[in-house]
Amino acid sequence: MLSWEYLDPPENDNLADAKEISGATGSVSGTTEDAVREINDLIVESQGSYYTATVWYKWIASENGVFRFVVTENKEYGSGHSRVVGSTTGFDNEKGKWNNANVQYNSLSFAAEAGKTYYLEVASDGRVNMVFDLSWEKIVPPANDDFANAELISGMSGSVDGSTIGASREGVDLIPDEYDSDYAATVWYKWTAPADGKYFFSLDRWDGTIGVTKGYDEDDGWEAYDLGMQLIKFNAVSNSNYWIEVGASGELEFSLAWGLVASNDDYEDAEELESAESGNVAGTLSGATIADNDCIWQYRDAERTVWYKWVAPFTGAACFTAIADNGRSDLLYLVATRGYDEDDEEWDDCGYDGGNTVSFNVQEGETYYVSIATWNYVVSGFTLSWQHILAPENDDFACAAAVSGISGNVTGTNIGAGVENGEPLAPDYYTTASVWWKWIAPKTGSFTFETLGSDFDTVIGVYTGNAVDSLSQIAANDDVFDGRTSIVTFDAEAETTYYICVGGYANGKGNVVMSWSAQQPEGEEIPDVSDDATPEDVSNAIESVGFADEKVMSAIGGSVDEYKAFKNWACGVEGGEAAVVESEHAAVSYMLGAEKLFANEPEISFGECDVASDTGEVTVSITIKDGEDAVAVASEKVKEMFEATNDLSDWDSTGKKLTPTVTDLTQGRANNLNFKVRPGDGTSPRAFLRIRK
């Protein structure tokens, strides 16, 4: 349906209708409600079409000086809206551009001339109506606004806080002239090198730029200058003067730090480690930079790296770990490489585990390089340690660990593992560490192997054959559902030996959890049991077809009739929707009975369940006959019982989780407990409680 309505925009919606404001100091309230942007809008041209609601103000400077305008959102009418402010002396129709344009977030400052007219625009994104206050005042520019008034700093290392608020560019200015004319606010520092060496100057803000120069010559311009974003390094001569400029496109509050560049800043200057099986060394990222072709770029963004060189004293697997002094080891990333090929212009990487540790296979006598990287300036000091790690026993195909049964699970690790020549997973999934299991199919049928619970991005393959370089692939998989878990389902032949290989995608390493189970064939029922069957008999019967998890079923009590109802429901036998609902109710009773929550058997009733729906929610009401105190205990026990199944969750063929959940758990009358049970999101009631190991 198409609908429309009349909007009543603010009177100052357009530049031509800008609201007049005056004075060296003042404030005015406004709103962007129902406002729209104009063609060639100032803020939109600078910040993008995201800002679609704009209003205008016209201000005539009463005196010369630097003035600051600030937009503050009125929190009484909501908060969190994105807001910007822009200033201009008008639009040049002939040139098609704004004169003296300056657009910033929240606040801006500029040098004004008495009697001159300036236009201020306030904008918010088009999704919201913003109520705000626009205030202005005359401010004093930073004392080090000009080159001639550069602030003196000194020492081998140090830091100083600064600001470009109220600053402007000079007629001849290093950063705007040589780097980017948009950097209209600059401040200066003067530093005398205390000794020869390679020094760095860095900012704690990503939106600032640093320039360094030995001075300005009227004829030759800036002397021996260099420029860089956030960080700059250069060779300084003792007792020589250097001018450091910090520039921004607008207002920037920052901290400027300086010191000697780390000696192992570059790959060519990697610090040599002791050729020992284990050890540790203290290091720092202070002053480190990053090369345009640094090996970390292949994996993630980074701002700084330092390098170490190590000659392996053994053949096997090595693990390097970096621990940040300030506890932020999560901000460190390690890469191992054999070096850089100048001819091919590429890195010979051999390890990246995605964090502050890296493990890789080494050959005795060969040289390896380890790069420690970070993407910000939070971490400086760290300790790098390394050790010889033993390979898992099932590292090689010939040493595959044996597993058995219709269902089960096993844990392991691929840390310290390698890949053999001819391993099938390695070329397709960039796997550098894999481990093996072998399994003899106990019966003919469909089986599933999966890596749910592993703590890294896995790949899995199933093979037959007798040699690692001549295997026949039965099934292989990288990702399903969460982008890290691997699952394969295949038709197995009884008494056939299958080899299962689990590795990491793109050098991934970690702890492995592998589980397997038989898939329920269409129409196959759980075997019947006699009337005098014990819970153990029931568990064994169910496990014989690999359908349900023994940890759940071995705890089941209750009657055989309830079990048979559960069987009918779980296997989807004939009987129509009513039979499914009836057996589902029995299944819930069966699970509750297994917990033996009550000394006296409670009365359990169920609401209706629409088996055709996606939610399949069942309302359960329990009347407890053990007294009022038992209700609170039962409430917690019921919740625990169903939440425990989260560790045993299953998926259907579309990847939807089948984990049952409890909602609306409340105590009604003194002896009554009410709650709702629903299957996993998007599954039908028939999937409820179908738990596979």
Residues in the chain: 693
A 10 A CB-CB count for 83 gives 19
Burial of 568 from C-beta contacts in 10 A (0-12 / 13-18 / 19+): buried
Residue type, 164: T
d(C-alpha 431, C-alpha 425), whole Å: 6
Per-residue model confidence as pLDDT tens digits over 127-155: 567 889 999 999 999 999 999 999 999 99
Closest CA to 212 of 171, 243, 175: 243
DSSP letter (8 states) at residue 205? -
Q: Using the predicted structure, report yes or no on whether residue 106 has a pLDDT greater than 70.
A: yes
- Sheet containing 65-73, strands listed edge to edge, beginning at the edge strand earlier in sequence: 26-31, 131-139, 65-73, 107-112
Q: Which helix (H) or strand (E) holds 638?
A: helix 628-643
At 137, which helix (H) or strand (E)? strand 131-139
User: What pLDDT is recorded for position 564?
Assistant: 47
User: Helix, strand, coil proportions of the chain in percent (round to 5)?
Assistant: 15, 40, 45
Tell whether the model's pLDDT for residue 164 goes beyond 50: yes
Q: Binning pLDDT at 50, 70 and 90, where does residue 23 land?
A: very high
Within 10 Å of residue 10's Cβ, how many Cβ atoms? 18
Residues 604, 610, 612, CA angle at the centre, nearest 5°? Answer: 140
- At residue 689 the predicted structure's pLDDT band, cuts being 50, 70 and 90, is very low
Using pLDDT thresholds of 50, 70 and 90, give the confidence band for residue 592.
very low
Higher-scoring residue by pLDDT: 539, 271 = 271
Query: What is the average pLDDT score of the chain?
Result: 79
pLDDT at 135: 96
pLDDT of residue 558: 39
The string of pLDDT tens digits covering residues 501-534 is: 999 987 788 899 999 988 765 544 545 545 455 5
The yes-or-no verdict on residue 600 having pLDDT over 80 is no
Query: What's the pLDDT band for 497 if we cut at 50, 70, 90?
Result: very high
640 token code pair: 């625990």
Question: What values do phi and psi take at 425, rounded to 5?
Answer: -75, -30
pLDDT (mean) for 312-328: 93
**Range in 182-196, 308-322, 605-619 the model is least confident about:** 605-619
Q: What are φ and ψ of residue 606, in 5° steps?
A: -125, 145
b/e per residue 539-555 (b: at least 16 CB within 10 A)? bbbbbebbbbbbebbbe
**Residue 378: pLDDT over 50:** yes
Q: Tokens representing 647?
A: 């560790």
Quote the CA–CA distance of 351 and 334 in Å, as a whole number: 8
pLDDT over 70 percentage in the chain? 72
pLDDT, position 593:
45
Domains in the chain, start-ordered, CATH in brackets? 15-139 (2.60.120.510), 147-260 (2.60.120.380), 267-389 (2.60.120.510), 397-518 (2.60.120.380), 535-687 (no CATH)
Instruction: Give the pLDDT confidence score for residue 299 in this predicted structure.
Output: 81
pLDDT at 66 > cutoff 60: yes
pLDDT higher at 575 or 291: 291
Instruction: State the average pLDDT over residues 673-691.
Output: 43
Among 249-263, 470-484, 587-601, the range with the most confident prediction by mean pLDDT is 249-263
Residue 72 token pair? 């503050």
* Residue-level pLDDT at 631: 64
pLDDT band at 601 (very low <50, low <70, confident <90, very high): low
The pTM of the full predicted model, rounded to 2 decimals, is 0.55
Q: For residue 679, is pLDDT > 50?
A: no
Q: What mean pLDDT is predicted for residues 249-278?
A: 92
- What is the rounded distance in angstroms from the CA atom of residue 367 to the CA atom of residue 363? 9
Band (328; pLDDT cuts 50, 70, 90): very high
Q: How far is CA 310 from CA 30, 152, 234, 273, 337, in A?
A: 64, 42, 28, 5, 11
pLDDT value at position 105?
83
Q: Which residue has the tokens 């296997």?
A: 571
Confidence of residue 82 (pLDDT cuts 50, 70, 90): low
pLDDT, tens only, 440-464: 999 998 999 999 889 888 999 999 9
**Residue carrying the six token digits 């930073």:** 142
Task: For residue range 113-131, list pLDDT tens digits in order.
Answer: 999 999 999 998 755 678 8
Identify residue 212 by its one-letter amino acid code. Answer: V
Q: What is the pLDDT of residues 624-669, one digit of tens each?
A: 666 656 666 666 655 555 444 433 333 333 333 334 455 555 555 4
pLDDT of 209-242, one tens digit each? 999 999 998 888 898 888 888 788 899 999 999 9
Residue 686 tokens read as: 């028939």
Percent of the chain with pLDDT over 90: 41
Q: What's the pLDDT score for residue 319?
A: 92
Residue range 577-582: average pLDDT?
38
For residue 258, give the H/E element and its range: strand 253-260
Residue 343: the pLDDT is 84
Confidence band of 605 (pLDDT split at 50, 70, 90): low
CA angle 419, 425, 427 (to 5 degrees): 85
Categorize the per-residue pLDDT at 674 as very low, low, confident or very high, splitting at 50, 70 and 90.
low
Q: What per-residue confidence (pLDDT) applies to 518?
A: 83
Q: Is the pLDDT of residue 682 over 70?
A: no
Q: What is the structure's pLDDT at 172?
A: 84
- Strand (E) or helix (H) holding 538: helix 535-543
Nearest partner of 551 among 658, 402, 404, 407, judged by Cα = 407
Q: Quick check: 290 and 304 in contact, CB under 8 A?
A: yes
User: Helices in 375-534 by DSSP H: which ranges?
Assistant: 425-429
Contact (CB, 8 A) for 527 and 544 = yes
